[in-house]
Structure 1
Amino acid sequence: MSSAMINLILEATLETIYMVAISGIIAALAGIPLGVLLYVTRPGQILAQPILQSVLSVVTNIGRSIPFIILLVAIVPFTRLLVGSSIGTMAAAVPLTIAAIPFVARLVEGALNEISPGLVEAAQSMGATPWQIITRVLLPEARGGIYTALTITVVTLISYSAMAGAVGGGGLGDLGIRYGHQRYNETIMLITVVILVVMVQGLQSLGDYLVRRSNHK
């Protein structure tokens, strides 16, 4: 394999890591608070707001129901407005982030559902404010579930980034399509798949470790 091809593989790998890192961080920063809000605004919860909860739930469901490949194309004008282009790694990060936020939110909401209501009631009986309950009871108790949610999200983003690469998003998906599929180079296709598998396995192992550590604590 030529040094030029090795450089292309390294560049594509870094582009994929960049896309996934940017979209994953922003999705976590927006999705975790949204998931908490979906949970605490339910009827009977500490910040019950049924109308707000219904609106947030509908918006989240809409975001989750749109197939990524359709979302990728549908928001091209918004992507171009935001980053100045509809192709490349920065452009691909926009739909990746939008797709990941509602995904994270629902997973975080599910993790919060596993918390015993008795813990919240005990905190309320001691005079804890809603903010204190969220930061000192809900989030610490759901830490393991949140780690699992973020791990699942990042693994999903890796597969989505490969899909984005197929339509000009760069990264390993673009490399596999242009240099592997279109040029009938099975070696490049195999290398692309192996790198993606290694990335997924590494992230999954890290996520499992964090979950075990949080559950032990």
Structure 2
Amino acid sequence: MEELTLAQAWENLVLLGPEIWQASLETALMLGIGLTAAILIGGPLGVWLYLAQPGQILANRFVAGVLGWLVNLVRSFPFIILMVSLVPLTRILVGSTIGPVAAAVPLSFAAIPYFARLVEQTLREVPRGVVEAAEAMGASPLEIVFKVLLREARAGLVASLTILTISFLSYSAVAGVVGGGGIGDLAIRYGYYRFQTEVMVAMVVLLVVVVQLIQFAGNRIAQKLDKR
């Protein structure tokens, strides 16, 4: 009986193969858009947050206070509430509130301040003496940012991006539950509503494997970039 149950469960998963593949692509699309927004907007925002702090080359208490307040404001929203509150904007931007592209809008809004804070904290670990040496040699602010700060912090930035990717993989599953598609949507539709436990288990195993691969790749890249 147990072998028959396992065989039937495997057969069900094989039949769902195309849907599992489609769900994986939808999750990858959501993550790709969210992470791209985080890198392109959250990265510079994090650098600005760091440079505006007292004692830094672009120190400005007002700017640091405003940026910090905005970042903390968005980060304080639970993701499910952020999704609901951004429904009107999502409809304006993509013309729909359903699907992976629509779900990527709140994902991006959540990822930008999250990554900005990670970048800021990573840059704080760069020895102050390295920056001071660059200043003494007459380096411009842009040269200090690109040739000193980002170069010295690159291993930490990769580690931060790895953390962000894994965290937002779970966020994308939540987005799937409320119409975003992806692995979370598939797990709920089949594993919960249709009582196909094998689908739920398979999706959990898939997510675990993906997380392990992301963490492994991130660790290896960070180790290669770390010259300490």
* TM-score, normalising length: structure 1: 0.97
The DSSP-based 3-state class of the residue aligned with 2:123 is helix
The DSSP-based 3-state class of the residue aligned with 2:53 is coil
Is 1:190 the counterpart of 2:201? The answer is yes
Gaps of 5+ in 1: none
Task: Tell me the distance in 2 between the aligned counterparts of 1:88 and 1:4.
Answer: 23
The DSSP-based 3-state class of the residue aligned with 1:37 is helix
Deviations 1:28-71 (A, max 9, x none): 11111001000001122101121111100000011111110110
Task: Tell me the distance in 1 between the aligned counterparts of 2:82 and 2:109.
Answer: 9
Of 101, 108, 123, 1:112 maps to 123
Task: Tell me the distance in 2 between the aligned counterparts of 1:58 and 1:82.
Answer: 25
Task: Tell me the distance in 2 between the aligned counterparts of 1:13 and 1:44.
Answer: 46
Is 1:83 the counterpart of 2:94? The answer is yes
| Pair member with larger Rg | 2
Task: Tell me the distance in 2 between the aligned counterparts of 1:32 and 1:7.
Answer: 36
C-alpha deviation, 1:199, in angstroms? 1.0
* Residue identity opposite 2:124 in structure 1: N
C-alpha deviation, 1:216, in angstroms? 3.5
Task: Tell me the distance in 2 between the aligned counterparts of 1:189 and 1:44.
Answer: 51
Is 1:151 the counterpart of 2:172? The answer is no
Partner in structure 1 of residue 36 of structure 2: 25
Task: Tell me the distance in 2 between the aligned counterparts of 1:117 and 1:184.
Answer: 57
Partner in structure 1 of residue 111 of structure 2: 100
The DSSP-based 3-state class of the residue aligned with 1:43 is coil
Of 122, 129, 132, 2:133 maps to 122
Partner in structure 2 of residue 204 of structure 1: 215
C-alpha deviation, 1:94, in angstroms? 0.4
C-alpha deviation, 1:189, in angstroms? 0.3
Query: Which aligned pairs between 1:58-73 and structure 2 lie closer than 5 A?
Result: 58-73=69-84
Partner in structure 2 of residue 139 of structure 1: 150
Is 1:176 the counterpart of 2:183? The answer is no
* Residue identity opposite 1:9 in structure 2: I
Q: Which runs of 4+ in 1 moved over 4 A?
A: none
Task: Tell me the distance in 2 between the aligned counterparts of 1:210 and 1:29.
Answer: 20
C-alpha deviation, 1:176, in angstroms? 0.4
Task: Tell me the distance in 1 between the aligned counterparts of 2:15 and 2:41.
Answer: 39
* Residue identity opposite 1:97 in structure 2: S
Task: Tell me the distance in 2 between the aligned counterparts of 1:183 and 1:50.
Answer: 55
Kindly tell me the number of residue pairs found equivalent between the two proteins. 217
* Residue identity opposite 2:168 in structure 1: L
The DSSP-based 3-state class of the residue aligned with 2:16 is helix
Identity %: 50
Partner in structure 1 of residue 8 of structure 2: none
Deviations 1:128-175 (A, max 9, x none): 111110111000011011101100111011000000011110000000
Task: Tell me the distance in 1 between the aligned counterparts of 2:15 and 2:35.
Answer: 30
CA RMSD of aligned residues (A): 1.1
Gaps of 5+ in 2: 1-10
* TM-score, normalising length: structure 2: 0.93
C-alpha deviation, 1:198, in angstroms? 1.1
